[in-house]
């Protein structure tokens, strides 16, 4: 018998997130005689629509859902979101203490017995490197890496200067760890660091993500063999602001953990989470195995989880029906829902997700020789041609019915407090329907001679292919020559100069913080991949970062939303429908509205024994 569950999505904040009400499942007891719940020899297979390519999700290159789903399970941290969603302190990894509110001072301490998967202790060296990378306080001033980025891959080229300190974290001096300009103090026992913020930061509790192994970075960057020596070398380089050592350290932090198949060097997959990467076949699958050194509270039940990369939603459904995979959460399409309806003995959960579809325009360094979207008239003209309502009606409504609506805000989720007021006061209504004649007039006024617009999108995603086709046809009526920059490797190209003129993809909410979406729009921030810069927007971002009053936060976000639409930043289209399906072989599957969605509690998954 087929089981179908439909979850209603409910907005609970104005900070760019939705939430579904659900209970977090508990772990099961295994048959191996200990209390961990791990069942020796147990294995399952899940599917995802994009291949993994970086174990560092804190760079502009690696910051992608496909990477962070895996990194969430192999790199432990101080907190995470459950599927309520609420922030859970992970005190088995470490604790953090608010020492002072004014000035804002926070101490992070690693718990006793926490080790990397190679047996090395996790300690203050890892935390200090995390600060250096995510604050960029030690970076070489005024360095621009743009000319050293490969337009084909999005990675830094071999011509990148070897004497430059540059951490590719997108940190800015008025948000997150960018506000911690002074080098943190390290405790005498080497397990804690204390950070003092230059000014209060509203989401300080979310500003310190999972660290990477400092001993691995030190060994590779400084050509050292001993882990303890390498850790100390990293500490010394940071505390002494030694640019000669920090240059190779930053370079390795940026690119050393990028790989598209199982690396020959086992140091590159050293992790601290419940799982470690044990096998990786390029473009096929990645396998995670229970970390034998993990002693935290989130010990897994299943020994091995393999994640197959299946971009085509219908192929994922076929794999589920054939028993080749146990869990899928593909890009939702009408055909997908129909196909799932025909399968017995599976559970399907459908809801609105925390991801939204949008089109962004390149404000600088686009592919068009005339840098077409520097002109606001051309930006407005192009946005008038995007068939937002047609995309929703033809591609999304068949999946979730009348719940499929246009999203009319860059910052607020439909249904969230502040959304209706912001949508009414911004200019999104000007782009609700296609206006070809208005676009033609603006294009003529601009004087632009090269109307080519190359759009970057996931070429192996059927829904995005359909969206691209609809946009291409509509824009052509106004005189734009829309060309295809689609790529299977689109994620790594988003921040690459000269790679495209417009992009079509989805942003996924990772937290409930008020600053969750701000790095997308702030000049130079990690998610600002289209070289957007607006003084008014930057000023609002800086104020939001230090505003603790919720009513004022909503007011500021509405002001920012209005400014973005009036600047023709791009258009939002729809909130993603989310479909999770799994077989009777597994239990404990409860997706979250926030990233990493279905993987948030993978340690609680268990095998039922059913076939």
With tokens 């799982």, the residue in question is 275
Give the DSSP letter of residue 260.
Answer: S
Helix (H) or strand (E) holding 237: helix 227-239
Least confident span in 5-19, 199-213, 397-411, 563-577: 5-19
Helix (H) or strand (E) holding 550: helix 550-566
Burial class (CB in 10 A: 0-12, 13-18, 19+), 611: exposed
Q: At CA 466, angle to CA 460 and CA 467, rounded to 5?
A: 105
The architecture of the domain spanning 65-266 is Alpha-Beta Complex (3.90)
Which of 327, 326, 321, 323 shows the shortest CA–CA distance to 341?
A: 321
Secondary structure E strands in 32-187: 39-48, 79-81, 87-89, 94-101, 104-110, 185-186
- Using pLDDT thresholds of 50, 70 and 90, give the confidence band for residue 82: very high
**Rounded average pLDDT over 53-74:** 95
Q: What does the mean pLDDT of the chain come to?
A: 91
**SS3 labels along 378-438:** HHHHHHHHCCHHHHHHHHHHHHHHHHCCECCCCCCCCCCCCHHHHHHHCCHHHHCCCCHHH
**Rounded average pLDDT over 483-496:** 92
**Rounded average pLDDT over 515-533:** 92
- Using pLDDT thresholds of 50, 70 and 90, give the confidence band for residue 30: very low
Of 604 and 85, the structure prediction assigns the larger pLDDT to: 604
> What torsion do the CA atoms of 72, 77, 83, 86 make, to the nearest 10 degrees?
-150
Task: Answer whether 0.85 is exceeded by the pTM.
Answer: yes
pLDDT tens-digit series, residues 156-166: 888 999 999 99
**Rounded average pLDDT over 260-273:** 98
pLDDT tens-digit series, residues 340-364: 999 999 999 987 788 899 999 999 9
- Using pLDDT thresholds of 50, 70 and 90, give the confidence band for residue 403: confident
pLDDT > 50? residue 6: no
**Rounded average pLDDT over 462-486:** 97
- Using pLDDT thresholds of 50, 70 and 90, give the confidence band for residue 34: very low
Q: Crossing angle, helix 214-222 and helix 243-255, to 10 degrees?
A: 110
pLDDT > 90? residue 19: no
Peptide bond into 103 cis (omega under 30): yes
**Rounded average pLDDT over 293-310:** 97
- Using pLDDT thresholds of 50, 70 and 90, give the confidence band for residue 8: very low
Q: What is the pLDDT of residue 610?
A: 63
């Amino acid at each position: 018998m087929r089981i179908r569950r439909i979850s209603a999505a409910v907005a609970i904040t104005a900070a760019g997130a939705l939430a579904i009400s659900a209970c977090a499942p508990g772990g099961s007891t295994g048959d191996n005689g200990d209390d961990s719940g791990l069942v020796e020899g147990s294995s399952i297979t899940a599917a995802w629509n994009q291949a993994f390519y970086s174990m560092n999700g804190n760079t502009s290159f690696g910051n992608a859902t496909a990477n962070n789903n895996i990194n969430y399970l192999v790199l432990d941290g101080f907190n995470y979101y459950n599927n309520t969603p609420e922030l859970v302190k992970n005190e088995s990894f470490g604790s953090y203490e608010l020492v002072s509110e004014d000035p804002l001072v926070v101490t992070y301490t690693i718990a006793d017995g926490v080790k990397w998967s190679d047996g090395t202790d996790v300690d203050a060296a890892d935390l200090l490197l995390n600060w250096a990378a995510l604050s960029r306080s030690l970076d070489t001033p005024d360095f621009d890496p743009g000319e050293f980025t490969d337009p084909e891959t999005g990675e830094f080229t071999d011509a990148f200067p070897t004497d430059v300190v540059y951490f590719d974290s997108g940190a800015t001096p008025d948000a997150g760890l960018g506000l911690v300009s002074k080098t943190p103090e390290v405790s005498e026992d080497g397990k804690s660091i204390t950070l003092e913020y230059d000014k209060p930061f509203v989401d300080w509790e979310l500003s310190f993500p999972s660290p990477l192994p400092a001993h691995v970075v030190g060994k590779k960057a400084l050509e050292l063999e001993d882990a303890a020596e390498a850790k100390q070398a990293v500490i010394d380089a940071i505390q002494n602001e030694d640019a000669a050592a920090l240059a190779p350290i930053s370079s390795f932090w940026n690119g050393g953990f990028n790989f598209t198949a199982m690396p020959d060097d086992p140091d590159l997959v050293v992790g601290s989470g419940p799982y470690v990467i044990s096998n990786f076949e390029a473009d096929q699958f990645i396998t995670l195995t229970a970390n034998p050194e993990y002693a935290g509270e989130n010990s897994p039940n299943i020994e091995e989880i393999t994640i197959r990369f299946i971009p085509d939603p219908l192929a994922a459904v076929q794999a589920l029906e054939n028993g080749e995979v146990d869990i899928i959460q593909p890009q939702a399409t009408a055909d997908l829902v129909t196909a799932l309806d025909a399968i017995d003995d599976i559970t399907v959960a459908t809801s609105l997700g925390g991801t939204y579809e949008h089109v962004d325009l390149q404000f600088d360094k686009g592919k068009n020789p005339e840098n077409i979207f520097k002109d606001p008239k051309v930006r407005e003209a192009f946005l008038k041609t995007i068939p937002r309502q047609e995309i929703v009606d033809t591609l999304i409504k068949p999946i979730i019915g009348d719940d499929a609506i246009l999203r009319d805000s860059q910052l607020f989720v439909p249904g969230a407090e502040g959304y209706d007021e912001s949508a009414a006061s911004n200019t999104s209504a000007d782009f609700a329907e296609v206006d070809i004649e208005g676009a033609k007039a603006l294009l003529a006024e601009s004087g632009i001679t090269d109307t080519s617009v190359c759009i970057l999108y996931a070429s192996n995603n059927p829904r995005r292919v359909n969206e691209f086709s609809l946009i291409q046809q509509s824009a052509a009526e106004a005189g734009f020559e829309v060309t295809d920059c689609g790529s299977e490797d689109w994620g790594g190209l988003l921040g690459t100069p000269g790679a495209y003129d417009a992009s079509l993809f989805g942003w996924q909410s990772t937290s409930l913080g008020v600053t969750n979406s701000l790095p997308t729009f702030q000049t130079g921030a990690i998610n600002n991949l289209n070289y957007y810069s607006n003084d008014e927007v930057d000023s609002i971002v800086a104020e939001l970062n230090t505003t603790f009053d919720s009513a004022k936060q909503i007011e500021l976000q509405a002001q920012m939303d209005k400014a973005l639409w009036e600047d023709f930043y791009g258009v939002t289209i729809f909130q993603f429908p989310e479909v999770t399906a799994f077989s009777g072989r597994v239990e404990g599957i409860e997706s979250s509205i926030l990233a990493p969605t279905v993987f948030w509690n993978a340690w609680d998954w268990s095998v039922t024994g059913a076939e």
